[in-house]
Structure 1
């Protein structure tokens, strides 16, 4: 029977001030340098939660909207949501299916990697461009974990977090899109009164991302990295994608 992994208390610390990240920057090395400058010493088992946007920037996932030609569907959705047609087309290009939540959005899309995200994870970059998700967020998390371990000798986990909306309510939350060194699921098993084995799964990396979201600069604060200490978890490089459903029916139709 699966032994539960229990967390009784944890702490979260913002890694700030943090420099502006530019395309092709060594993100892992920058994080390690800022940790050293701020006197933040990583401990075995800590979890670094990193905003997906700085990962995207370091991997140069920028798209110039002038290079995008909107389709009829993009023009229709642009009129409905008020989003620029070029940005909407980019959302469609990054997704395999979509629907509009509410009368004017947001656009909820299933990203071609399998994630169900607001705007397929496309993040506006001023009036002229946009940032796409990392091409493989789990691989990005593994690379960051390796780099940080090499710089600090601390065996830590990395979670890449992204802000996301919900179709059933206003506002946004924070979820995980990539992970390394931590199992994306927390599994518990118990014996029911009738003798049946009850198997339960919780999306642990989403809960970790949401905890960091209280600090992360989703709306302009500019804190892209948080160190969380005290969380119990099972080490794993399965990544967030291993927790996704596969072969599920389309969402609401496209």
Structure 2
């Protein structure tokens, strides 16, 4: 059963350099830590925005090479989204629905996540970024590299901004994790003597907490460190808590 968290602190790694395709993200993170004269501590959770992971992994799509299908054209006309983006949403997902009269488009990604626009992020007017191919594996690679470099045992959570079908605005959720159990399990006795077991999506709560300071809309701080979070170590990843894991 998980230990509760009574208090924690969080800070962004900034200034953070612009990430380009092919960059070694773990080295960039450790370089920023060194420049800040900041030392990681055992148990720290490093939260990384999915977009910089996608950029480093080269998950770019040139929209000029995307040919919209009739289904994409129809959905584009309905929602106002560019047909090429809609085609990517359809190709990256197994099912979708439109929340409201004109969107957003909520899609079940092939990875098993239900995300606004299948997690696709625009890259200017000519391109788009897809999600990391395997976010749990990306988190594991970052965790292993950072731990090897610093000698400090940390966890990594990859976070992604996402909308809700029932309301406006966006929140932040986890799409990848390593070194931290994705679920926090609690048990307590009911008045009738029975034991009630509850599961909480811990990595989502960690991502949301980091989202308060992570870079949004060009702020330029795509990595945050959370310190003092109580968690169980695990490499199950976010996939382990999905209803429809691939």
TM-score tier (shorter)? over 0.9
Equivalent position to 1:210, from 192, 208, 213: 208
Q: What secondary structure, in the 3-state scheme, does the structure 1 residue paired with 2:136 have?
A: helix
Question: Which of the numbers 109, 112, 116 marks the counterpart of 2:107?
Answer: 109
Report the alpha carbon displacement of residue 218 of structure 1 after superposing the two structures with TM: 2.1
State which of 98, 107, 125 in structure 2 corresponds to 1:100. 98
Q: What does 1:215-234 correspond to in 2, within 5 Å?
A: 215-234=213-232
> Pairwise mapping of residues 191-202 of structure 1 onto structure 2 (< 5 A)?
191-202=189-200
Say which of 19, 23, 37 aligns to 1:39. 37
Summarize the alignment of residues 162-181 of structure 1 with structure 2, pairs less than 5 Å apart.
Answer: 162-181=160-179
Task: Using the TM superposition, give the Cα deviation of residue 193 of structure 1 relative to its aligned residue in structure 2, in angstroms.
Answer: 2.0
Tell me by how many angstroms 1:99 deviates: 0.5
The separation in 2 between residues aligned to 1:168 and 1:56, in whole angstroms, is 28
1:195 Cα offset (Å): 2.2
CA displacement, residues 204-245 of structure 1 (integer Å, 9 cap, x when unaligned): 000000000001112221110000001000000000010001
2:244 and 2:22 mapped to 1: Cα distance? 33
Tell me how many residue pairs correspond in the alignment: 245
TM-score, structure 1 normalization: 0.95
SS of alignment partner, residue 188 of structure 1: strand
Partner of 1:161: 159
**Counterpart of 1:217 in 2: which secondary structure?**
coil
Aligned-partner SS, 2:48: strand
Q: CA RMSD in A?
A: 0.9
In 1, the alpha carbon distance for the partners of 2:229 and 2:22 equals 32
- TM-score normalised by the chain length of structure 2: 0.98
Structure 1 stretches of 4+ moved >2 Å: none
> Post-superposition shift, 1:191?
2.1
The correspondence for 1:122, drawn from 110, 120, 123, is 120
3-state SS of paired residue (2:180) = coil
What residue number does 2:15 align with? Answer: 17
Show structure 2 runs of 5+ residues with no match. Answer: none
1:175 and 1:60 mapped to 2: Cα distance? 22
User: 1: CA distance between counterparts of 2:220 and 2:136?
Assistant: 23
